[in-house]
Structure 1
Amino acid sequence: MVMRSLTLFFSATLLLGTACQGLLDVAPQDQISNEEALSSPEGIQAAMAGAYSTLGESGYYLRAMVAYPELAGHLAPNPDAVSSGDFSGNLATPIVDLRDAHSFALQPTYEDSSLDEFYRVLYILLGRVNNILEALPAVEGLTEAERNSLQGEALALRALAHFDLLRLYAQPYRFTPNAAHPGVVLLDAPLPVTARPARSTVAEGFSLVEADLLQAITLLNSFAQRTTEAVWLTPTAARGLLARIYAYRENWEGVVEQASRVIESGGLALLNPGEYVDTWAQQLPSPEAIWYVDLQRHRNADPSSTGLIFSMARVAGVPEDLEVVPYARVSNDLLSLYGEEDLRRELFIEVGGQAYCRKYSLRPNYVSNFPILRLSELFLLRAEAYAALGQDALAQADYNLIHQRAVDDAPAIGLTGQALRDEIFKERRRELALEGHLLFDLARTGRGVERQDCLPGNLNCSLPFPDFRFVLPIPQSALNANPNLTQNEGY
């Protein structure tokens, strides 16, 4: 059944239902009823396909969820980028939108923007996983272990969707005492068509995310491993997400516990220095990958996919065989963080006077798979947590593992206190550059945006924290559909 289900997995576009249509400005995607589609093991597997494939939308991890936060200091609009009739005008909108986002100039009426997809896509994902969770108990032909594992996958995906909504549309956890400020609409079950729920608090949102991941950890098992690739959810992946989420809540003991469980889980290893650059540049399997978004398989299964045009590689990947200019370039603000001896500098190449990133390959008929979680981040999260807890020696040890791999003969770090925490933050920027973290990391740690490399006329090259522009506006169409929704302050 597994191999037959894989055929369905990446050709299915299933299972939103109509429950969210009016409330969230989302159109139904299904041509068959949820009841019919979710009544068999094959159908439930295809439904899970629809959920996983949502991660590969251009409005999510294919491009926007990675590029948008990196514009806060790692990416800059490419002055050489121009629109092209070869793509029926599709290039013009992303170029303009990236410039608007770089300038913190997005408005609630940005429905025609290439960045307007976050709200729609994330609630599509929530609709899909909630339909799965509701249907699972009645599906015949599944063993208890299979049913549990599918439930765990759905819960982990629901946690990721809510977490990303909170990162995009709500100020960080520390913004108010007890995180009592507005969060997002939480969907923990299929929503009646007539429902018009209000936004929950950020604290309530993070509590649901935590609960879903804790349950997912206990339910996920080997049934989810449809192939040997690191593209399926596992208890280790769920723990990695939980460690990241605890960092956003400043639950430092929780970060240490979950990150340590991942680090000690077995089967993972940091890339050695001799393999580091080539593994990225040649898109080779990485021993430190915890969870990838399988963009390449999803694109291959959908011949109509515009994958390359709308991928992260098209934003800032190194051009190889295409006579096209990426929308953005690697900023001098990022490049200045690397010393000459840092091997990670080799991931950035100058082409035609602009710097681009080798983490994403810009070549015909190819989309680089995106690593949502990798082992390096878990060491840096644990270093950050140890430093916050005053356990400087342990923080230094984790920092040194990552930094000394990249910088041959680098001395062991001797910083302590706030200076150590600041250096761990810089190392996080260097190691996780262009992987979709920067703006969110700045916000959760209370740091402002400090850039030198901006286009002329950008009035917001620097942006102190707090500021309303650290989060996106709720789309106006969603506000129009639901009178109980409120806009983010400042918009």
Structure 2
Amino acid sequence: MKRNLFKYYTLAAAIVVITGSCSKDLEPYNGKSDDAALETPEDLQTATYGVYSGLVDRMYTKNLNQLGEYPGDDVALSGATGDQVFYTYTYTHFPGMGNTEQFWQGAYKVIYSANAIIERINDGTSQQLDQLKGENLYLRAMAHFDLVRLFGRPYPQGAGNNPGVVIKDNTKDDRPARSSVKDVYAFVIADLKHAATLMKENKSAAFASREVAEALLSRVYLYMEDNANALLYANKVISSNRYRLMETQPYKTYFRVIPEENPETIFAIRHTVADDRGKDAIGSMYYNDPVTQSTGWGEVYASLAFVKLLDQYPGDVRHSFVEPQRDANGNMQLRNQTPVYFINKYNWQEGVANLSSPVILRLAEMYLIRAEANAKLGNAQAAIDDVNLIRRRAGLSGAALYTTGNLKGRASVLDVVLEERRLELAFEAHRPYDLYRNNRPMVRAYPGFHGSNQYDQTIQPTDPQVINYIPERETGLNPNLTQNP
């Protein structure tokens, strides 16, 4: 008999505690029934740590970055690879890809585990339980949103009426059909608004809080072109004063700072030293320690197109995140004619080569969401002000800043904003979504293992390969799942 993909993930899988998350000595325990395992507030807290651990699992966190970043124009794959990210990078998807199957399963594991907790908490029972329910509502919403971005077409295409993903708000053993993109977004928004009303604790960036839910709401509204609400929720987060942009010099090593100590990070998937995956970590594909040449694969580089954009202003401290590799004579190293520009945003947390806590939401994005929303609402000066705020933090001033009367050759204020998003949020799995939701093509006119001549590739926003196939294992288990064309 076939096992349903949702029921397959029992609550026991959720009760795995992130090392260092709590001072208690909490061990994985699968000897109890789901009901018995969730009897007390302490049980529910332990299980909630387990839901967070589902994000730390490579099935979720590594695939989230690779599936979201590798189809972009900020990166260049330097050659053929046995890793299935090759198909993601080259837009040659197929239904049997292991990385999409892993992410689908990892995301629904998080959703199932969160549902098991949500079902057991009535609103208003206590502030502690309200907080836990709110955190799980946030985690459920985040997982659904990540799924619909990867497997459903951008919201503006068809006004959200294209097939999305399965909405799962319970632990029933059933086989639902896919909901529309619009319905998935509505579900995510409802969960996030509910979560925001329940969470009262100002937890660290390793956990959900009211501002975390509001920050994701801002992004969700931006993606669906509800610019007024994107602006509203970005302002809520900014005006909360819980976060501040890191200063220019410390920003050079922003991504090495643990979330709890970073003033700008709103939410990150916390990885401790015990979570280091070595050459199976996100950073292993972007980087290989130049001294030892032993820490990673170092096969995916910053693209020449991105580097040229960054190089327009040599004083931009965001150069710190890209490390050009040169030979003894100072010449750029090449791999299959691809310049070797290592990316270090996922390396050297706590001095460990491939350790990082991937940042999901940070304050700089809130300013850029506000800028994009203002640009689309016709508030040009407000949009330019926020762009310049980010540029000043990057160490730029004077002629490097924009005015509404001098866009430095950019066609519109929106072009200015999207370019700044590209520079600021590079390698954080934003770029493909930013282009396609704005109905813009992906143009890869730079060296890399893409296109028929390894140099030119253009993907239109309406191309079927912009989104991933539903994993064939899941369509086999669930006959109600329709496949993407």
TM bracket, shorter-chain basis: 0.7 to 0.9
In structure 2, the residue corresponding to 1:450 is in which secondary structure?
strand
* Match status 1:428 vs 2:421: yes
- Quick check: 1:413 aligned with 2:403? yes
1:6-27: CA deviation from partner (whole Å, max 9, x where unpaired): xxxxxxxxxxxx9x94246955
Contact 2:443–2:459 (Cα < 8 Å) also in 1: yes
Counterpart of 2:163 in structure 1 is 182
Matches within 5 A, 1:78-89: 78-79=78-79
Counting matched residue pairs gives 439
- Equivalent residue number for residue 368 of structure 2: 380
Determine if the alignment matches structure 1 residue 118 to structure 2 residue 103: yes
Kept in 1, the 8 Å contact 2:164–2:178? The answer is: yes
Contact 1:454 1:461 in 2 (8 A): no
Is the 1:173–1:202 contact (alpha carbons within 8 Å) kept by the matching residues of 2? yes
Corresponding residue of 2:112: 127
Structure 1 partner of 2:473: 477
Aligned to 2:135: 153
Note if contact 2:206-2:270 (Cα within 8 Å) is conserved in structure 1. Answer: yes
1:467 is aligned, of 463, 469, 482, to 463
CA contact (8 A) 1:69 1:436 kept: yes
* Aligned pairs (5 A) from 1:68-467: 68-71=67-70, 72-79=72-79, 93-94=82-83, 97-110=84-97, 113-137=98-122, 144-177=126-159, 179-191=160-172, 193=173, 195-222=174-201, 225=203, 229-280=204-255, 285-296=261-272, 300=274, 307-317=277-287, 319=289, 321=292, 323=294, 324-338=296-310, 339=312, 340-351=314-325, 353=333, 354-361=340-347, 364=352, 367-406=355-394, 407-409=396-398, 410-414=400-404, 419-456=412-449, 458-459=451-452, 461-467=457-463
CA distance in 2, matches of 1:93, 1:57: 21
CA distance in 2, matches of 1:206, 1:439: 19
SS at match of 1:359: coil
Segment drifting more, 152-161 vs 309-318: 309-318
How far the C-alpha of 1:365 sits from its partner, in A, is: 7.0
CA shift at 1:306, angstroms?
A: 6.1
Query: CA 1:203/1:77 → structure 2, altered by over 3 Å: closer, same or farther?
Result: same
> Once the two structures are superposed, what CA deviation does each residue of 1:301-355 show, in whole Å capped at 9, x if it has no partner?
xxxx562222211121352655143241221122122122322112211236211
**TM-score, length-scaled by structure 2:** 0.84
Q: How does the TM-score come out when normalised to structure 1?
A: 0.83
- Rounded to whole Å, the distance in 2 between the matches of 1:165 and 1:60 is 10
Q: Runs of at least 4 residues of structure 1 off by over 4 A?
A: 23-29, 281-284, 362-366, 415-418
CA RMSD of superposed structures (Å): 2.5
Structure 1: gaps spanning 5 or more residues: 1-17, 82-91
Q: Identify if the C-alpha distance between structure 1 residues 308 and 351 changes in structure 2 by more than 3 Å, giving closer, same or farther.
A: same
CA contact (8 A) 1:180 1:202 kept: yes
Tell me the CA shift for residue 263 of structure 1.
0.6
Output the CA distance in 1 between the equivalents of 2:55 and 2:345: 19
Deviation at 1:75, TM superposition (A): 1.8
Structure 1 23/117 Cα, relative in aligned 2: closer, same or farther at 3 Å? closer
CA contact (8 A) 1:380 1:424 kept: yes
Residues 332/366 of structure 1: CA separation in 2 closer, same or farther (3 Å cut)? closer
Distance in 2, matches of 1:255 and 1:176, equals 20
- Whether 1:59 and 2:59 are equivalent positions in the alignment is yes
**8 Å contact kept, 1:281–1:347:** no
On the 8 A contact 2:222/2:373 being kept in 1, the answer is yes
Structure 1 residue 289 displacement after superposition: 1.0
Give the 3 Å change call, closer, same or farther, for CA 157–27 of structure 1 in structure 2: closer
Cα distance in 1 between the residues matched to 2:276 and 2:382: 46
DSSP 3-state at the match of 2:442: coil
Q: How big is each residue's C-alpha offset from its partner over 1:448-491, in whole Å with a ceiling of 9 and x where there is no partner?
A: 111123535634822112111111000111111111110012xx
